């Protein structure tokens, strides 16, 4: 990839969904139907990362009163390592806090040490594990962020 000229994170638009569904490495079940459902769900916060105007990543957060659950965060493999995951996460937290979120929970694959490192650097703490959470039998690490100081 050449030089990144402009990056932005903002709320997803319906026109972004087909491209987001085509990002390589997206977990099974996150096709166009699931993304559309999340887009239409009032309790969802759905952000998109764009590079030079093209959608290259997204994050989905479900909000229930004061608690948020990070459903998914995805960055196209060609754009990883540029800080887009962190930018998406920061945007999601800020949007959640604006809407009253006090606590954010997420699950991450035990083998995904890069994502765990990002979450730890943002103030998340490990609060548990869910053995065999994923269809391939891998354990999920459950993490929490208290947003009062964010």
Whether 73 maps to a domain, the answer reads yes
For residue 26, the enclosing domain spans 7-149
Smallest Cα–Cα separation from 137: which of 114, 105, 110, 117?
110
Residues in the chain with pLDDT < 70? 1-6, 25-29, 149-150
CATH number at residue 113: 3.40.630.30
Give me the residue label for tokens 């930018």. 87
**Which one from 107, 110, 134, 144 is the annotated catalytic residue?**
107
> Is 134 known to be catalytic?
no
Contact assessment for residue 101 and residue 68, using Cβ atoms and an 8 Å cutoff: yes
Taking only the tens place, the pLDDT of each residue in 1-43 is 445 456 789 999 898 888 888 887 666 667 788 888 888 999 9
Whether 1 maps to a domain, the answer reads no
Q: Cβ atoms within 10 A of the Cβ of 33, count?
A: 11
Whether 2 maps to a domain, the answer reads no
**Which one from 27, 66, 119, 138 is the annotated catalytic residue?**
119
Question: What's the CA dihedral at 23, 26, 32, 37 to 10 degrees?
Answer: -130
0.95 exceeded by the pTM?
Answer: no
User: How far apart, in whole angstroms, are the C-alpha atoms of residue 12 and residue 21?
Assistant: 12
Q: How many domains does the chain have?
A: 1
> Is 107 known to be catalytic?
yes
């Amino acid at each position: 990839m050449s030089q990144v000229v402009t990056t932005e994170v903002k709320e997803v638009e319906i026109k972004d969904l087909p491209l987001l569904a085509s990002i390589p490495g997206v977990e099974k079940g996150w096709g166009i139907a699931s993304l559309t459902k999340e887009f239409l769900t009032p309790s969802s916060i759905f952000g998109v990362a764009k590079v030079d105007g093209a959608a290259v990543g997204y994050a989905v957060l479900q909000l229930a009163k004061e608690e948020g659950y990070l459903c998914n965060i995805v960055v196209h493999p060609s754009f990883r390592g540029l800080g887009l995951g962190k930018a998406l996460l920061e945007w999601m937290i800020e949007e959640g806090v604006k809407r009253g979120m006090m606590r954010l929970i997420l699950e991450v694959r035990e083998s995904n040490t890069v994502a765990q490192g990002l979450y730890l650097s943002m103030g998340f703490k490990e609060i548990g594990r869910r053995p065999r959470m994923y269809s391939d039998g891998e354990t999920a690490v459950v993490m929490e962020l208290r947003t009062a100081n964010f």
